[in-house]
Copies of this chain bind each other. A is one copy, B any other.
Amino acid sequence: MALTPQWVKNLKPSGPQGSELLEQERAKSNVSVEKLSKFLFTQSVLDRKHRILEVLQSERVFDKSQNYFAGRVDRFETALARAKKLRKLVVKHGWSQEDLRTANDLISEPGPYGLHESMFLITLRDQGTPEQHEKFLKPAENYEIIGCYAQTELGHGSNVRGLETTVTWNEDDKTFILHSPHLTASKWWIGSLGRTANYAVVMAQLWIKGKSYGPHPFVVHIRDMKTHEPLENIHVGDIGPKFGYNTMDNGFLLFNNVKIPHISMLARFSSVDIKTGKYFRPASPSLIYGTLTWVRSTIVLQAGGVLARGVTIATRYCAVRRQFQDRDAKEQGGENQVINYTTVQIRLLTLLATTFALHFTGRGMMQLYEENQKKMSQDAGKVGDASRGAGPEETHSGSDLLADLHATSCGLKSLASSTAVDGLEVCRRACGGHGYSSFSGIGPWYADYLPTATWEGDNYMLTQQVARYLLKSARSVLKGEKPTNDTTQILAHFLSKADIGAAFDVLGKDEDIVAAFAWRSSFLTFEALKHRDEQKMAWNDLLVDFYRLSRAHSQYMVVRNFYAALSAPSTESELDQETRTLMHKLFRLYALHTLEQEASEFYTSAAVTVRQIQLSRTNAVMKLLDEIRPHAVRLVDAWDFPDWQMDSSLGRYDGKVYEDMFYRASELNPLNKITVDPYPNNETLFKKDESRQLKSKL
Chain B residues within 8 Å of A335, by CB: 159, 162
Chain B nearest CB: distance from A620 CB in Å?
A: 13
Contact B14–A540 (Cβ < 8 Å): no
Contact B184–A443 (Cβ < 8 Å): no
Chain B nearest CB: distance from A17 CB in Å?
A: 10
Tell yes or no: A233 within 8 A of B by CB.
Answer: yes
Chain B residues within 8 Å of A4, by CB: 235
Contact A183–B13 (Cβ < 8 Å): yes
Contact B68–A71 (Cβ < 8 Å): no
CA distance A152 to B437 in the complex (A): 14
Tell yes or no: A213 within 8 A of B by CB.
Answer: no
Given the known A-B contacts A5-B235, A433-B152, A681-B88, are A240 and B665 also in contact in the complex, defined by CB atoms under 8 Å? yes
Contact A429–B443 (Cβ < 8 Å): no
CA distance A155 to B15 in the complex (A): 11
Interface residues of A in 260-287 (CB under 8 A from B): none
Contact B669–A540 (Cβ < 8 Å): no
Chain B nearest CB: distance from A539 CB in Å?
A: 4
Contact B80–A676 (Cβ < 8 Å): yes
Chain B residues within 8 Å of A393, by CB: 327
Chain B nearest CB: distance from A627 CB in Å?
A: 14
Stretch at the interface among A358-366, A446-454, A561-569: A446-454
Interface residues of A in 426-443 (CB under 8 A from B): 428-429, 432-439, 443
Interface residues of A in 277-321 (CB under 8 A from B): none
Chain B residues within 8 Å of A599, by CB: 599-600
Contact B198–A544 (Cβ < 8 Å): no
Contact B238–A671 (Cβ < 8 Å): yes
Tell yes or no: A500 within 8 A of B by CB.
Answer: no
Partner of A74, one of B2, B71, B328, B453: B71
CA distance A594 to B622 in the complex (A): 25
Given the known A-B contacts A343-B544, A603-B600, are A243 and B678 also in contact in the complex, defined by CB atoms under 8 Å? no
How does the 8 Å CB contact mask read for A179-196 relative to B, with 1 for contact and 0 for none? 011111110010000111
Chain B residues within 8 Å of A443, by CB: 242-243
Chain B nearest CB: distance from A37 CB in Å?
A: 30
Stretch at the interface among A95-103, A502-510, A656-664: A656-664
How does the 8 Å CB contact mask read for A541-554 relative to B, with 1 for contact and 0 for none? 11111010000000
Contact A342–B622 (Cβ < 8 Å): no
Interface residues of A in 206-265 (CB under 8 A from B): 227-230, 233, 235-245, 249, 252, 254, 256
Chain B nearest CB: distance from A698 CB in Å?
A: 12
Tell yes or no: A478 within 8 A of B by CB.
Answer: no
Contact A323–B156 (Cβ < 8 Å): yes
Counting contact residues on chain A (CB < 8 A from B), the size range is: 35 or more
Partner of A229, one of B5, B340, B675, B678: B675
Tell yes or no: A610 within 8 A of B by CB.
Answer: yes
Interface residues of A in 66-93 (CB under 8 A from B): 68-74, 76-77, 80-81, 83-84, 87-88
What is the total number of copies of this protein in its complex?
2
Interface residues of A in 7-49 (CB under 8 A from B): 7-8, 11-14
Contact A342–B540 (Cβ < 8 Å): yes
Tell yes or no: A55 within 8 A of B by CB.
Answer: no
Chain B residues within 8 Å of A1, by CB: 230, 236-237
Partner of A672, one of B180, B181, B237: B237
Interface residues of A in 603-647 (CB under 8 A from B): 603-604, 610, 613-614, 618, 622
Chain B residues within 8 Å of A152, by CB: 433
Chain B residues within 8 Å of A76, by CB: 671
Contact B658–A183 (Cβ < 8 Å): yes
Contact A146–B603 (Cβ < 8 Å): no
Contact B343–A241 (Cβ < 8 Å): no
Contact B455–A679 (Cβ < 8 Å): no
Tell yes or no: A674 within 8 A of B by CB.
Answer: yes
Tell yes or no: A104 within 8 A of B by CB.
Answer: no
Contact B678–A155 (Cβ < 8 Å): no
Where the two chains meet, the residues of A that have a C-beta atom closer than 8 Å to any C-beta of B are: 1-2, 4-5, 7-8, 11-14, 68-74, 76-77, 80-81, 83-84, 87-88, 112, 143-144, 146, 152, 154-159, 162, 164, 180-186, 189, 194-198, 227-230, 233, 235-245, 249, 252, 254, 256, 323-324, 326-328, 335, 340-344, 346, 389-390, 393, 425, 428-429, 432-439, 443, 447, 450-451, 453-455, 458-460, 538-545, 547, 596, 599-600, 603-604, 610, 613-614, 618, 622, 658-659, 661-662, 664-666, 668-672, 674-682, 685-686
Can you offer 15 A-B residue contacts whose CB atoms are under 8 A? Answer: A8-B235, A8-B254, A14-B181, A71-B71, A84-B679, A146-B679, A186-B662, A239-B661, A244-B436, A326-B540, A328-B540, A342-B544, A429-B453, A541-B622, A604-B610
